[in-house]
Structure 1
Amino acid sequence: MVDIDSLAGKWATGAGASLVFKADHTFDSQGLSLDPALVRGCPSGTADGNWAFFVDEGAPGGLVGMDKKAQSGETVGVTFRDMPLGDCGITLSVIRDGSVLCVSMDLDQVCSFKERFTRLEKNRG
């Protein structure tokens, strides 16, 4: 599990893709290259958008949703600005005591892609 302060900052893959999470629930990305056969409509290169932790909404069946008010979580959802609703939903699972984020296609399958993001620098402000 990570909190907002632990998540905020720059994370990168060994291939050079990066995500910069900000405390205001926005992010910037560079160099993302997800297999279009697996994830429809994702941008490559430079993009930005919003993020939030997933939380259990307490509904029957354990429905889970993104909540910008949540201060911590084990799963982070990102949505890209200017993308049609339903295109390119990326889920990042927090693993290794919060030091690694891995890309998942859905909440039931942790780390469905090989990509792993590790922290490069913490948010300074």
Structure 2
Amino acid sequence: MHVGRQAWRAAALTAAATALTVSCGWAAALYGSEVSADQLEGRWTDGSGTSLTFNSDRTFTSEHFDRLPVVADAGCSDPSVLSSGRWAFYASSTTQADETATRGSILSLDSSDDSCSVSAFFFGDDDPAMCPTDDPDANCPTGYFHRTGHGT
């Protein structure tokens, strides 16, 4: 009887872990990483010609970012407005982006005219990757971005 209880406990723990991994938002919670503003600053590319360049003054510029599905999914009436804008980390204690936060695991990218906003999540510890998406459990449909150079 004791062996049956151990098997039941193992099955229950496996089921709980699977449920947590596939439920909304858990991938970011389990595999997400926190980056500092210094780590963020610079050019990030996805390998297909799309890039984001983050500057120390909390601004960004992009190349071909408006072509990504995440921008269309965000409901931006004119996706080209995300060719430049402002960035901010989401503070861990709030659901709002905070321009004074010096580190975070989720980033807000807001167009210069404030008409469009996209979120990006960070994954990995040694060499963080960034995924612009509204659903971090979707296996990064936009493709992962990696830092390739320093900012200004």
In the alignment, the residues of structure 2 paired with residue 14 and residue 24 of structure 1 have an alpha-carbon distance, to the nearest angstrom, of 26
Q: Residue 118 in 1 paired to residue 146 in 2?
A: yes
Displaced runs of 4 or more, over 6 A: none
Q: Paired residue for 2:68?
A: 34
In the alignment, the residues of structure 2 paired with residue 111 and residue 10 of structure 1 have an alpha-carbon distance, to the nearest angstrom, of 25
1:17-56 alignment runs, 5 A limit: 17-32=50-65, 33-35=67-69, 37-41=72-76, 43-44=79-80, 47-56=83-92
Q: Over aligned residues, Cα RMSD in angstroms?
A: 2.1
2:51–2:63: 8 Å Cα contact kept in structure 1? yes
Aligned to 2:91, the other structure's residue is in SS state strand
| Greater Rg over alpha carbons, structure | 2
1:30–1:45: 8 Å Cα contact kept in structure 2? no
Q: Paired residue for 1:102?
A: 131
Could you list the runs of 5+ residues in structure 2 that have no partner in the other structure?
1-33
Percent of residue pairs bearing the same amino acid type:
27
Residue by residue, what CA displacement relative to the aligned partner does 1:26-62 show, whole Å, maximum 9, x if unpaired?
00011111226523215249710000000134xxxxx
In the alignment, the residues of structure 1 paired with residue 39 and residue 81 of structure 2 have an alpha-carbon distance, to the nearest angstrom, of 25
Could you list the runs of 5+ residues in structure 1 that have no partner in the other structure?
58-62
Q: TM-score, normalised by structure 2?
A: 0.66
Q: TM-score, normalised by structure 1?
A: 0.78
Q: Residue 73 in 1 paired to residue 101 in 2?
A: no
